[in-house]
Amino acid sequence: MTEHNPEEVIQMDDHGNVIGHFDNMEAFFEWQRQQDEKADRQMHDRQRSITFGSKAIRFYFTGGQLLVIFGDVYSEQVMREKEIGAGSSIDEWLYTWTMSQERDRAGYCYGWWSSIIDEEPGSAHKINLWPINDEFYEYAKECRWDWYAFDSHNREHLQALYDEYAAHMQGVVL
């Protein structure tokens, strides 16, 4: 029987599969930094263009099915309204905004993410996203995020977005 290390960190993917064991948090953070650097080097210019106020899409396969997640990356104004509205002081807001800008430079964006399953705030790395325009986002919203309900023109547009994203991701090694 092996002794359990109480500082051990286990990294799991979105499906619950173990993808890494780390002796401590420092080792985990170093691994995460290396992963971020690899992702940053391999981002497409279109992915780099995703920033505050952008709309984006994420293609996520789960259980053999495609889940399409639509993202509204918070703009500075929206983020400020949410923070101040939740009771943050101006100093707290400025700290949050500064940290958000640092996260954006590191390849992460925070916003509202919607699919046929759920809607919630959260963050994502840009390597997992592809930009979309406001009109397509609003169309998806009208369809309640259900891409099966899209008309043929918008299904073709979704397919073209997926093809662009998939073509780029074929060369990405994380």
- Which pLDDT score, from 0 to 100, does residue 64 have? 85
pTM for the whole structure:
0.82
Contact 141, 154 (CB under 8 A): no
Return per-residue pLDDT of the chain as tens, 174 residues: 445 565 666 665 555 566 667 777 888 878 888 888 888 898 999 999 999 999 999 999 888 889 999 999 999 999 999 999 999 999 999 999 999 999 999 999 999 999 999 999 999 999 999 999 999 999 999 999 999 999 999 999 999 999 999 999 998 887
Q: Return d(Cα 12, Cα 102) in angstroms, integer.
A: 25
Going by their DSSP bridges, the two strands 108-114 and 9-12 should be labelled as unpaired
- Which pLDDT score, from 0 to 100, does residue 150 have? 98
Contact 58, 129 (CB under 8 A): yes
